[in-house]
A and B are shown apart, each in its own frame.
Chain A
Amino acid sequence: MAGSDPEKLIAKADKLTKLSLTRWSADWKSATVLYEQAGNGFRLAKNCEKAKIAFEKASKGQEMLSSPWDAAKHMESAASLAKELGNWNEVADFYRRASELYNECGRSQPASDALTKGARVLEDAAPDEAIQLYTDACAILEEDGKEQMAFDLYRAATSVYIKLEKYTDAATFLLRWGLAADKCNATYSQCKAYLSAIIVYLYAHDFKQAEKCYNDCSQIVTFFSSDQNRCASKLLAGYTEGDVEEIKRVAQSSTVSNLDHVIIRLARKLPTGDVSAMKSDAANGQETLDEDDLT
């Protein structure tokens, strides 16, 4: 049977599953076996379209046989074939379905892995969809209390955001990363995440946000007593004084060089825009503060 034509196998399997007058209930067991074989055959023959369809049907069969694990595995195979074909929508759908099936098994790690695979595939083609997948994957892991595993996902998502030049979103995501790190007591990653967020805000010319972010983060004890905090304060001081040399020096320092390479690239490009404009802004801000103090 293994050597027969995959087409024939598919036809046979279809016949087994289609309900008709002679057949009152579909024979999913043998049909699934046939579908799997057909799928493998098509894959060897490099017929991606047919193979994909075969795997889809095999997955459905496994579902009927109430083994979501195998169903999910078939879905993943179908998705990888769809990727070869370039059907990005289908890719996303298939991976999502696979992830749901894994969740049914109660295994969160493979579920988020499936979403991650999909996101990685879609990074270039459909980045927004990729970000969505990354976010969902992180959510799944966090629900299950496995935040440590999510760090790589946060990093990947941040790099996609920065590639898309959505800096506020990137910074927000970095702050979420800091929160996840806090939950699992990964203090070093947390401090690095906060410093990265501040750098991203500064890169986007958003000095006020950067300052606000810095003030918020300083409330956190672990960040306050870390090297990264000192580095951030030096950076912000450089900005308030409009000292370009100082900013460049801080960006070259070893604390910044230990961050993620995407962030390092941003930091090396600092200061962007007009530092003196920020300086005057900061000075104005301080004056209003004094008035408030008097009243």
Chain B
Amino acid sequence: MSVIDVLFRVDSICKKYEKYDFDKQRELNASADDAFSRLYAAVESDIDAALHKSTMASMEKNRASVVAMNAEIRRTKARLMEEVLKLQKLALKKVKGLSKEELATRSDLVLALPERIKAIPDGTATAAKQTGGWGASASNGKIKFDSDGHFDSEFFQQTGESSQFREEYEMRKMKQDQGLDIISEGLDTLKNLAHDMNEELDRQVPLIDEIDTKVDKATADLKRTNVRLKETVTKIRSSQNFCIDIILLCIILGIASYLYNILK
């Protein structure tokens, strides 16, 4: 087993049996009646928890939970920044049993806190990597309106690509507008034609009704005439006439065959 392994094992064992560590407990108890140390300890534990959560978030696969965790981290950071202000006030207060050097160190510690809080990764740092071209100030999770100079510089950097895109967008929009104008003119013409056709058809409806009645009358007349014609024809073709027809036909055939025989 290497030294490092030993160290790790020792650390984990100590953490496990912390409550039996008298020195540490005394230290914690000692700071129980000191508001500053109490608050300071609370802030430190919060920072540790936030760091832990951020490591969890970076390992998380599900994007929604990543987002939720990052939001929580950001909220914690904001709260902690407020607490830092309180700590600053407390740091200046004189507490009994505290040396002058310790007072100075306290204020230093308080000053160091905001940077530590800001350094907690909360997802905006990773987002900065994704959108190309963002400057370093993007790692700040807070929204800034009308902010300082380097916001402008990164804005400028962006329009290098996006201005071209915007131009193309405008061109395409203009072409679409032209096309739509042409379509609208065509539709106007169609509407006019359709209306006129509508009125023309309305005009022709009564005319066609008239034609309908007249044609009905004509067909009825025709039917009647046909029936009468049929009667007349059948009368003509009665059986009596039919026999006479056959006899005459036979006579003619006889004469023809006689002539044929003579000529042959």
Interface residues of A (CB under 8 A from B): 148-149, 151, 184-186, 188-189, 254-255, 258
- Which residues 198-237 of B sit at the A interface, judged by CB distance below 8 A? 198-199, 202-203
Q: Is B185 a contact partner of A188 (Cβ separation < 8 A)?
A: no
- Asked if A255 and B188 sit within 8 Å, CB to CB, the answer is yes
Q: Contact between B203 and A188 (Cβ–Cβ < 8 Å)?
A: no
Q: A185-B202, A188-B199, A258-B192 are in contact. List 19 more A-B contacts (CB 8 A).
A: A148-B199, A148-B202, A148-B203, A149-B203, A151-B203, A184-B202, A186-B199, A186-B202, A188-B195, A188-B196, A188-B198, A189-B199, A254-B185, A254-B188, A254-B189, A254-B192, A255-B188, A258-B188, A258-B189
Question: Chain B interface mostly helix, strand, loop or mixed?
Answer: helix
Q: For residue A174, give the distance in angstroms from its CB to the closest CB of chain B.
A: 17
Q: List 19 A-B contacts (CB under 8 A).
A: A148-B199, A148-B202, A148-B203, A151-B203, A184-B202, A185-B202, A186-B199, A186-B202, A188-B195, A188-B196, A188-B198, A188-B199, A254-B185, A254-B188, A254-B189, A254-B192, A255-B188, A258-B188, A258-B192
Q: Which residues of A contact B203 (CB under 8 A)?
A: 148-149, 151
CA of A138 to CA of B130, assembled, Å: 80
Q: Which residues of A contact B198 (CB under 8 A)?
A: 188
Residues of chain A within 8 A (CB-CB) of B199 are 148, 186, 188-189
**Assembled-state Cα–Cα distance A189/B195 (Å):** 9
Residues of B within 8 A of A189 (CB): 199
B166-197, CB < 8 A from A = 185, 188-189, 192, 195-196
* Interface class of chain A by DSSP: helix
B199 to chain A: closest residue by CB = A186
- In order of increasing CB-CB distance, the 9 nearest A-B pairs are A254-B188, A188-B195, A258-B192, A148-B203, A186-B199, A254-B185, A189-B199, A188-B199, A254-B189
Closest chain B CB from A186 CB (angstroms): 5
Q: Residues of B contacting A151 with CB < 8 Å?
A: 203
A145 closest partner in B (C-beta)? B206
Chain B minimum-CB-distance residue to A146:
B206
A157 to B195 CA separation, bound complex (whole angstroms)? 23
Q: Which residue of A lies closest to B195 (CB)?
A: A188
Name which residue of chain B comes closest to A189, CB basis: B199
B205 to chain A, nearest CB (A): 9
The CA-CA distance from A254 to B184 in the complex, in Å, is 10
CA distance A109 to B185 in the complex (A): 38
For the complex, give the distance between the alpha carbons of A188 and B196 in Å.
8
Residues of A within 8 A of B185 (CB): 254
> Which B-chain residue is minimally distant from A255 (CB atoms)?
B188
In the complex, what residue of chain B is closest to A109 when comparing beta carbons? B207
Residue of A149, A188, A255 with highest tally of chain B CB at under 10 A: A188
Q: With the chains together, A258 CA to B193 CA distance in Å?
A: 9
- Measured between beta carbons, the chain B residues less than 8 angstroms from A188 are 195-196, 198-199
CB-based nearest B residue for A254: B188
Complex CA gap A272/B36 in Å reads 91
User: Closest Cβ of chain A: how far from B183's Cβ, in Å?
Assistant: 12
Assembled-state Cα–Cα distance A148/B199 (Å): 9
A44 to chain B, nearest CB (A): 33
- B 104-153 contacts with A by CB, 8 A: none
Q: Which residues of the other chain, A, contact B196 by a CB distance below 8 angstroms?
A: 188
**Nearest CB on A from B218, distance (A):** 18
Q: Smallest CB-CB separation from A149: which chain B residue?
A: B203
- Give the CA-CA distance A63 to B202 in the complex, in Å: 37
> How far apart are the CA atoms of A258 and B189 in the complex, in Å?
8
On chain A, the residues within 8 Å of B192 by CB distance are: 254, 258
Q: Chain B residues near A258 (CB, 8 Å)?
A: 188-189, 192
Min Cβ gap B103→A in Å is: 80
Determine the distance from Cα of A258 to Cα of B202 in the docked complex, in whole angstroms.
20
Distance from B121 Cβ to chain A, minimum over Cβ atoms (Å): 61
Q: Within 8 Å CB of A184, what residues of B?
A: 202
Residues of B within 8 A of A185 (CB): 202
Minimum CB–CB distance for B250 against chain A, Å = 48
Distance from A155 Cβ to chain B, minimum over Cβ atoms (Å): 12
- Provide the residues of chain B in CB contact with A186, threshold 8 Å: 199, 202
Q: Which residues of B contact A149 (CB under 8 A)?
A: 203
Cα distance, A184 to B185, chains bound together (Å) = 29
Measured in the bound complex, the distance between the Cα atoms of B202 and A188 in whole Å is: 12
- Cα distance A185–B198 in the bound complex, in angstroms: 11
A254 to B189, CA, bound (A): 7
Shortest C-beta distance, B167 to chain A (Å), equals 29
